[in-house]
Amino acid sequence: MDAKIASPLVDCLQYANWSPNVFSQMRAGGVHAVHATIAYHENFRETVANIIAWNRHFERHPDLIFPGRSGSDIERAMREGRTAIFFGLQNPSPIEDDIGLIEVCHMLGVRFMQLSYNNQSLLATGCYEGEDPGITRFGRQAIAEMNRVGMVIDMSHSAERSTLEAIEISTRPIAITHANPYGWHAALRNKSDTVLKALTQSGGMLGLSLYPHHLRDGSNCTLESFCAMVAETASRYGTEHIGIGSDLCQDQPDSVVTWMRNGRWSKALDYGEGSAAAAGFPRQPQWFNNNADLGNLRHGLRDVGFCEEEVGGIMGGNWLRFYTASFGPMP
């Protein structure tokens, strides 16, 4: 790879209210790739409608964005000054109860799928359930099929036993695309030392989250505090297994939080993060309001002692390596 494009910037999870403004901020921030959520609770046909909407974005803004399918598309984005958009599912609802839809979704560009989103799914248990029986029979077969076609297993919203079993069952490294260490901030969505050791020792990737509910001091978390956490995480699990998964939900109305947490399964408000105060989107930290601010992390990482090569890896080089290895069919 040319030295000029040796350090990409990759954000491995966003669910912004997509618009020309957001795409322009990606370019202003030098963001080369974004893993974009295209489904939370949608069924297959509704997910296809979301892909159609993305196709219109690609058609209207080809100077800013294009569909990402492989790691080489990140390198292309760097050469061309654009952003590659990689599709992901935060819930297995788009595959319904049909294992054949995994391959179909991959053919449509889906490269990540969470096995559960907070609740019990047909595949695994979410992190807000009281009991975690682990990966289901369907889940084991879905993991094998995802491994075969080149779709990454994402356990960001899954419970502990299910996550550990997914790591063990999968023959390819998995990802937790947007979460932080539980020891730094005790949010239900953040991950234990046991999980993070198993994840990274198996070659998996952790995308560190900038979503305030996942941060120590919430919206008041400082860049210094976040980057000190990154340094501690790297010392425990290895710099090469760490990237960014901001969980940016820019310009979304608060009604979208209700959709995320309630879907169609609940008549009552489900506050998810644990209190009525968390019902709406929290304010972003001052140093990260949108994609144009992602570069602030480079300075913060240097200030806590990372060398340029390590900064480049955390900001996107590690994700580039993982995407390249993960999105094709089983070797």
- Full 3-state SS string of 81-94: CCEEEEEEECCCHH
Does residue 32 contact residue 295 with C-beta atoms inside 8 Å?
Answer: no
Q: What is the pLDDT of residue 32?
A: 98
pLDDT at residue 271, rounded to an integer: 58
Cα separation, 196 vs 268, whole angstroms: 33
Q: At what angle do helices 160-169 and 193-201 cross, to 10 degrees?
A: 10
Rounded to whole angstroms, the Cα distance separating 186 from 209 reads 14
The pLDDT value recorded for residue 270 is 67
Secondary structure (DSSP) of 25-39 = HHHHTT--EEEEEEE
pLDDT, one tens digit for every residue, the chain (331 residues): 333 456 999 999 999 999 999 999 999 999 999 999 999 999 999 999 999 999 999 999 999 999 999 999 999 999 999 999 999 999 999 999 999 999 999 999 999 999 999 999 999 999 999 999 999 999 999 999 999 999 999 999 999 999 999 999 999 999 999 999 999 999 999 999 999 999 999 999 999 999 999 999 999 999 999 999 999 999 999 999 999 999 999 999 988 988 888 888 888 876 555 444 456 899 999 999 999 999 999 999 999 999 999 999 999 999 999 999 999 998 8
CA of 159: how far to CAs of 11, 135, 144, 165, 208, in Å?
23, 10, 20, 10, 17
* Structure token digits, residue 5: 């494009």
Domain definitions of the chain by residue range: 3-326
Give the relative orientation of helices 44-60 and 100-107 as an angle to the nearest 10 degrees.
Answer: 10
Phi, psi of 289 (to 5 degrees): -95, -30
Model pTM? 0.95
Q: Domain 3-326, CATH 3.30.360.10 — does that match?
A: no
CA distance 183 to 201: 18
| Dihedral sign computed on CA atoms, order 318, 323, 326, 331 | negative
CA-to-CA distance for 21 and 65, rounded, in angstroms?
12
- Cα angle 319, 102, 163 (rounded to 5 degrees) comes to 55
C-alpha–C-alpha distance, residues 104 and 107, integer Å:
5
DSSP string over 137-151: HHHHHHHHHHHHHT-
Q: Which of 181, 184, 201 is nearest to 192 (CA)?
A: 181
Angle value at C-alpha 125, between 205 and 115, nearest 5 degrees: 50
Are 221 and 210 in contact by the 8 Å Cβ rule? The answer is no
Which residues share a beta bridge with 33? 10, 84
Q: What is the pLDDT of residue 234?
A: 98
